[in-house]
Amino acid sequence: MVADLIKDRSSIRRMSGEIIPEEKINILFEAAGLAASAHNAQPWQFVYVLREDDGWNQFFECVVPANQRWAKDAGMLVVVASHQEFVIGDEVEKNPYAVFDVGAAVQNMALQASELGLALCVMGGCDKRNLRVATGLSSAYDIEVMIAVGAPEFKPSGRAQRKPVKEIAFRGRV
Ligand SMILES: Cc1cc2nc3c(=O)[nH]c(=O)nc-3n(C[C@H](O)[C@H](O)[C@H](O)COP(=O)(O)O)c2cc1C
């Protein structure tokens, strides 16, 4: 049986504009930080604004128009970045797993949001160049995606279709 939390999560884009309580925000980032990562490097970094913050407009302007249409009602916008190097022994090396690990952290966050009754949707559609200016993230980090989080106004029934297990998992050889 697949866990209910995994089955229940979906990308929710209909948000009410309500503020997200600070304690829920902390729980989301705590969940993200509990993800596994190569050499426990924890390459994730999150920079966020709440809709009442001065920086909201600058972040929001980095969201592509198609996403702005619904993300305008989010309570929080998060920029997700991955540190591109890690320390192995005494050496600083390129971390080839950084984006993999950051994806796991984002999934933790998405599952936690679902359990807290929050709406969350990842947005690849954003202007990374302007986000670098808005966030102050150094070139040591790649900017991966933004995330919109908010109070759900409406949870769509059903889910985006998935490939059957036999199309994604193969024993021995494809
Ligand atoms: C890396 C990534 C980028 C995404 N970018 C967008 C986006 O720009 N706009 C959007 O509306 N949804 C975006 N999504 C959400 C996907 O469309 C969604 O996860 C997919 O359709 C499956 O639906 P589900 O999350 O409800 O299961 C993105 C998801 C991921 C993981």
Q: What is the pTM of this model?
A: 0.97
- Residue 21 sits at the vertex; the CA angle it makes with 20 and 22, to the nearest 5 degrees, is 115
CATH of domain 4-154: 3.40.109.10
Given a cut of 90, whether residue 155 has pLDDT beyond it is no
Distance CA 47, CA 25 (A): 12
Q: Is the CB–ligand 1 distance for residue 7 below 6 Å? A: no
- Residue 26 sits at the vertex; the CA angle it makes with 131 and 62, to the nearest 5 degrees, is 15
Q: Is the CB–ligand 1 distance for residue 67 below 6 Å? A: yes
pLDDT at 133: 98
Task: Sketch the domain layout of the chain as residue ranges.
Answer: 4-154
**Model confidence pLDDT, tens digit, residues 114-129:** 999 999 999 999 999 9
Which of 10, 64, 122, 159 to mutate to test ligand 1, by most ligand atoms within 8 A of the CB atom? 122
Q: Where do the DSSP E strands lie in the chain? A: 44-50, 76-83, 85-88, 91-94, 119-123, 141-150
* Average pLDDT value for residue range 21-42: 98
